[in-house]
Amino acid sequence: MGDVKSKIIMAVGSTKQEPYPLLIKSCQDTWDSVKHPNYLKTVYFYAGDTNQLIEFDNYYEHYTLCEETVGNEALKFVQMFKYVWHLDWDFLVAGSTSSYWDKERLFDKIQTLSDTNTYCGINGGGYASGCGRIFSRDVIKKLIDGLPTGTCNDEDALIGQYLRDEHRIFVNGTPERVQYNYVTHNIERCYHYRVKEMSLPKLEEIKAFHNIFNETCFNDFKGKSYVNL
């Protein structure tokens, strides 16, 4: 089991294309504003015109030298892994701008997971769904060392196939995820909420993040309202 000193780094797949900067800000204003001693600064990772990791006061930004296309997601992941490898963490949690995280519940969940071979997420058919995955550090090392990074439109499926075929690591860990249904009260408690809803405008996700935050987060930020859109 992971011990109570487990360190966690969150990684959020990001883009500078509109309206995603507003969605990233909603992450930073809600779940990622919650401080917890076992979390490092979150890394938001992008395509860019250079390979670099930039540290800000409350988060990191990582850039991979590549075009902003779905086919480069595996390359962006592996490059980001390499650039955060030197930091002091035991588990990496990867999500998207459509993922809302309850850090305290996520920390409690990670304490139940193995320090090795953890590859935890909703099973999409032999792989952990890209919207919310937990990796132990040793699994990330395997991905750095061997994951193919050529053009691939299904990075999450590629990771699952590689871990399964090359290392006999399968989806594990009994993941949790709630599909947020756009209610504003009596929200089910969980460590991971998926707010993506294809039938709604993307900016509705900002409202969803703040609704979950106001309903579930009992800290100094409770009651903060979202910006009028």
In a domain, 28, yes or no: yes
How confident is residue 229, by pLDDT bands cut at 50, 70 and 90?
very low
In a domain, 207, yes or no: yes
Structure tokens, 137: 């550090």
How confident is residue 227, by pLDDT bands cut at 50, 70 and 90?
very low
In a domain, 223, yes or no: no
Identify whether the C-beta of residue 148 lies closer than 8 Å to the C-beta of residue 161. no
- What's the CATH code of the domain at 71? 3.90.550.10
In total, how many domains does the chain have?
A: 1
pLDDT single digits (tens) 94-149: 999 999 999 999 999 999 999 999 999 999 999 999 889 999 999 999 999 999 98
In a domain, 78, yes or no: yes
In a domain, 85, yes or no: yes
Beta-carbon-side half-sphere exposure of residue 124 (alpha carbons within 13 Å) = 18
In a domain, 174, yes or no: yes
Range 53-74 average pLDDT: 95
Long-range contacts of 212-218 (CB under 8 A, 24+ apart): 212/30, 212/31, 212/100, 212/180, 212/187, 213/30, 213/31, 213/100, 215/184, 215/185, 215/187, 216/102, 216/187, 216/189, 217/30, 217/31, 217/34, 217/102
Domain containing residue 22: 8-216
Range 77-89 average pLDDT: 97
In a domain, 169, yes or no: yes
In a domain, 224, yes or no: no
pTM of the complete model beyond 0.85: yes
- H or E element at residue 100: strand 99-101
Statement: residue 186 has pLDDT above 80: no
**Among candidate residues 135, 111, 107, the one with its CA nearest the CA of residue 121:** 135
